[in-house]
């Protein structure tokens, strides 16, 4: 076996070891979600299952009554005894049908309600995950949790659990009845059941391993398909269609192999168990015949009441039917192994997502609306004054307020996405309120990483980041990010109207505020030319717009948020030169009075910055104004004069 195969097998084994705990967790969540309805369903299943075993008892009684009639010839007396039993049995069947109907309807409601709550719990938990989680997991695999894994959980709750309980109750009831009538024949049945259990363990264990692998392979395939759909243009440009087909075929073959083996084991288990049951039926008939002819003393629980007698025909015939019913339900129990294992594999992946370590937030400094008195004192207010302050509670019970100015300082900052590879080394930046700070440098120099640290998408390893004199670790992340406006090179637009996408920057913004923001960003002109203007519906990340138009909407979205600090990460990289001049004018207005961090490859967009920092391999190698750096005739000078490219 290859190392990969061994790893997969080991993973599957780990899942099976914790099936009990997973099963208990699912059951606890199920009972917690529907504490009143679940007991009703259980009662219905118990009643219907117990009723299913009653015919064996009635059959024995009716055969005994017929024997009495046959010997005495008094049919009138026999019919008075037999008919009431038939009517009672019919009544029980009607009640059983009602119980089954109620159970199935309730289970449909419970199952979908439970899945609804699980999906909400998953999505809620996903919103609290750090950016690192999404950077290290394929999006298609994450989406598979909401589709394939949830579907296996549906089968577990709606089918496997009820069938497992029903079959278990029937097996226990039938076994009790068999022991009541004949211990000898029951022992023969139990020997056959032990053999069934042995076969189920061997065959079912194989299917369990491959069902776990199947769930993982499905997630892997969906992740690959999602990745390929996002990169279709790149694939076609480089003519990699055949390579992609081959890569998909390999992943698909892996899924095929896992699914084939899982279902091969699963499909063979039922017929094997069923035929063992058929053989057992013949054995019971043979043993029963021998015991009848030999008139062997019959021992059963009934012997405690009637004394030890010989085996009679009225016990043997119902015993055959009970054997069929007993083995049939044992077979049903074995068949549920597959559904349970698939459900556990899906539940494991669902709980892995739900249990993923959330983004920690130890911050306690919050952002509040503020009023600033002429003497400089600050007080909190519920009204939107256009001014903000940091509310800083202290250990002694006092609270201080610091006016939000946008003063950001990075001192001796070190950072790496992994422990063995640092991306930033000893970074020192001082951005005073209203200053425009620009970063230039080759791809991978660490420019975007700095902005990720300002937003606390990642936390630094060493050093300090201060915001208006406050360590950013003390500021609650949601409040920190609310004070920062971010425009990325890769634009993300959501399904909805153009107006909705602009309003995403400030959900309570009026239409007029959104339109003003669009005009400021230079987006109003092209928006009005759209079929429905600001009401034009966007979908698939605004695929019906050009890259530049999408970027203008993203800039307008940041503008409507009106944050005191702006981060522009290649914000105009996808806009043509003519449009850039329009946007730049709007951006200049947007940046007035704000602290701005700009990342750009086009040096024309950073020339008017208060300070320009040149980064190389995670270090700041030059800093100064455009004129200062030109005079130094260093790296920036060579970039500006075209002596060499950024890359």
Tens of pLDDT, residue by residue over 453-499, are: 998 988 888 899 999 999 999 999 989 988 888 887 777 888 889 99
| Predicted confidence band of residue 8 (pLDDT cuts 50, 70, 90) | very low
Tokens read off for 340: 């349970």
Burial class (CB in 10 A: 0-12, 13-18, 19+), 447: buried
Output the pLDDT for position 515.
92
Q: Which is nearest to 646 in space by CA: 615, 612, 619?
A: 615
Q: Can you tell me the mean pLDDT for 400-407?
A: 90
How far is residue 49 from each of residues 53, 96, 155, 172, 227, measured CA to CA in Å? 7, 8, 20, 10, 49
Output the pLDDT for position 60.
59
Output the pLDDT for position 205.
62
Q: Are the CB atoms for 365 and 476 separated by under 8 Å?
A: yes
User: Which of 62-76, 259-273, 437-451, 538-552 has the highest mean predicted lDDT (pLDDT)?
Assistant: 437-451
Burial class (CB in 10 A: 0-12, 13-18, 19+), 171: buried
Distance between CA atoms of residues 33 and 26, nearest Å? 11
CA 10, distance to chain mean position in Å, is 23
Would the pLDDT of 535 be above 80?
Answer: yes
Distance between CA atoms of residues 613 and 516, nearest Å? 32
Output the pLDDT for position 534.
92
Q: Are the CB atoms for 455 and 469 separated by under 8 Å?
A: no
The single residue listed with the structure tokens 């620009």 is: 438
Could you tell me which residues are beta bridge partners of residue 379? 371
Q: Are the CB atoms for 466 and 411 separated by under 8 Å?
A: yes
Q: Which is nearest to 174 in space by CA: 264, 51, 263?
A: 51
Q: What are the residue boundaries of the structural domains of the chain, listed by start?
A: 30-355, 366-403, 408-641
Distance between CA atoms of residues 93 and 107, nearest Å? 21
Strand 611-616 and strand 436-441: the pairing is: parallel
SS3 213: helix
Distance between CA atoms of residues 504 and 559, nearest Å? 11
pLDDT, tens only, 129-152 = 888 888 888 787 888 888 888 888
Residue 92 CB contacts under 8 Å (≥ 6 apart), including other chains: 51, 54
What is the pTM assigned to this prediction?
0.70
- The whole-chain average pLDDT of the chain stands at 81
SS3 599: strand
Tokens read off for 450: 């700095």
Distance between CA atoms of residues 247 and 242, nearest Å? 9
Strand 297-298 and strand 366-372: the pairing is: unpaired
| Predicted confidence band of residue 586 (pLDDT cuts 50, 70, 90) | low
Would the pLDDT of 175 be above 60?
Answer: yes
Q: Percentage of the chain with pLDDT > 90?
A: 15
Could you tell me which residues are beta bridge partners of residue 389? 368, 403
Distance between CA atoms of residues 566 and 406, nearest Å? 9
**H or E element that contains 368:** strand 366-372
Q: Are the CB atoms for 414 and 446 separated by under 8 Å?
A: no
Q: Name the superfamily (CATH) of residues 30-355.
A: ABC transporter type 1, transmembrane domain (1.20.1560.10)
Output the pLDDT for position 3.
37
Residue bearing the bigger pLDDT, 339 or 360: 360
Q: Which is nearest to 316 in space by CA: 196, 128, 184?
A: 184
Strand 378-380 and strand 366-372: the pairing is: antiparallel
CATH number of the domain located at residue range(s) 408-641 in this protein: 3.40.50.300
Output the pLDDT for position 214.
80
Distance between CA atoms of residues 557 and 590, nearest Å? 12
Q: Can you tell me the mean pLDDT for 529-546?
A: 85
Burial class (CB in 10 A: 0-12, 13-18, 19+), 397: exposed
**H or E element that contains 226:** helix 183-230
Would the pLDDT of 4 be above 50?
Answer: no
Strand 436-441 and strand 424-431: the pairing is: unpaired
Output the pLDDT for position 66.
63
How far is residue 187 from each of residues 197, 199, 515, 635, measured CA to CA in Å? 15, 19, 84, 91
Question: Quick one: angle between helices 313-355 and 241-294, nearest 10?
Answer: 150
Distance between CA atoms of residues 171 and 168, nearest Å? 5
Output the pLDDT for position 472.
92
Q: Which is nearest to 369 in space by CA: 386, 350, 345, 355?
A: 386
pLDDT, tens only, 301-325 = 766 666 666 777 767 777 777 888 7
* Least confident interval from 40-49, 177-186, 510-519: 177-186
How far is residue 256 from each of residues 217, 218, 250, 253, 260, measured CA to CA in Å? 9, 10, 10, 5, 6
Q: Can you tell me the mean pLDDT for 241-249?
A: 84
């Amino acid at each position: 076996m290859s190392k990969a195969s061994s790893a997969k097998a080991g993973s599957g084994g780990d899942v099976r070891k914790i099936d009990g705990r997973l099963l208990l967790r699912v059951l606890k969540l199920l009972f917690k979600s529907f504490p009143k309805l679940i007991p009703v369903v259980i009662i219905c299943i118990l009643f219907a299952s117990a009723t299913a075993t009653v015919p064996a008892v009635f059959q024995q009684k009716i055969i005994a009554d017929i024997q009495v009639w046959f010997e005495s010839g008094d049919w009138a007396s026999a019919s008075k005894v037999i008919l009431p039993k038939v009517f009672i049995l019919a009544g029980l069947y009607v009640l059983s049908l009602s119980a089954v109907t109620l159970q199935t309807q309730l289970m449909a409601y419970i199952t979908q309600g439970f899945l609804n709550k699980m999906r909400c719990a998953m999505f809620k938990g996903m919103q609290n995950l750090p950016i690192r989680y999404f950077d290290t997991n394929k999006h298609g695999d994450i989406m598979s949790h909401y589709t394939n894994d949830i579907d296996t959980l549906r089968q577990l709750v709606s089918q496997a659990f009820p069938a497992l309980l029903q079959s278990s109750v029937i097996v226990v009831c039938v076994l009790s009845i068999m022991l009541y009538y004949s211990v000898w024949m029951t022992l023969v049945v139990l020997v056959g059941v032990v053999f069934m259990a042995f076969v189920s363990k061997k065959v079912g264990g194989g299917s369990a391993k491959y069902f776990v692998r199947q769930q993982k392979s499905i997630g892997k395939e969906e992740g690959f398909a999602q990745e390929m759909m996002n990169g279709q243009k790149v694939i076609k440009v480089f003519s990699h269609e055949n390579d992609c087909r081959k890569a998909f075929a390999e992943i698909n073959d892996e899924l095929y192999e896992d699914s084939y083996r899982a279902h091969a084991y699963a499909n063979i288990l039922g017929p094997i168990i069923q035929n063992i049951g058929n053989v057992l039926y013949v054995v019971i008939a043979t043993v029963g015949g021998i015991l009848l002819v030999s008139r062997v003393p019959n021992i059963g629980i009934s012997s405690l009441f009637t004394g030890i007698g010989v085996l009679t025909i009225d016990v043997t015939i119902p015993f055959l039917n009970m054997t069929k019913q007993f083995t049939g339900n044992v077979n049903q129990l074995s068949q549920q192994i597959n559904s349970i294992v698939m459900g556990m594999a899906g539940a494991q992946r669902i709980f892995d997502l739900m249990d993923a370590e959330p983004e920690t937030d130890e911050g306690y400094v919050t952002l509040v609306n503020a009023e600033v008195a002429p003497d400089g004192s600050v007080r909190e207010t519920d009204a939107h004054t256009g001014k903000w302050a940091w509310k800083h509670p202290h250990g002694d019970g006092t609270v201080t307020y610091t006016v939000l100015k946008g003063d950001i300082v990075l001192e001796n900052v070190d950072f790496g996405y992994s422990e063995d590879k640092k991306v930033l080394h000893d970074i020192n930046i001082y951005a005073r309120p209203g200053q425009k700070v620009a970063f230039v440098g080759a791809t991978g120099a660490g420019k975007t990483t700095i902005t990720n640290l300002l937003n606390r998408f990642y936390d630094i390893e060493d050093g300090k980041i201060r915001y208006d004199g406050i360590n950013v670790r003390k500021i609650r992340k949601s409040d920190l990010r609310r004070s920062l406006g971010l425009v990325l090179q890769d634009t993300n637009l959501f399904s909805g109207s153009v107006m909705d996408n602009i309003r995403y920057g400030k959900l309570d913004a009026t239409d007029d505020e959104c339109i003003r923001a669009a005009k400021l960003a230079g987006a109003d002109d092209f928006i009005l030319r759209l079929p429905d203007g600001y009401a034009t519906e966007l979908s698939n990340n605004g695929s019906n717009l050009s890259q530049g138009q999408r970027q203008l909407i993203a800039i307008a979205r940041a503008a409507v948020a009106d944050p005191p600090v702006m981060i522009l990460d290649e914000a105009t990289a996808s806009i043509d030169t003519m449009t850039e001049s329009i946007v730049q004018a709007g951006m200049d207005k947007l940046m007035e009075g704000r602290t701005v961090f700009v990342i750009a490859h086009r040096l024309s967009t950073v020339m008017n910055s208060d300070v320009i920092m040149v980064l190389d391999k995670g270090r700041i190698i030059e800093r100064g104004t455009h004129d200062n750096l030109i005079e130094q005739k260093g790296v920036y000078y060579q970039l500006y004069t075209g002596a060499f490219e950024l890359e």
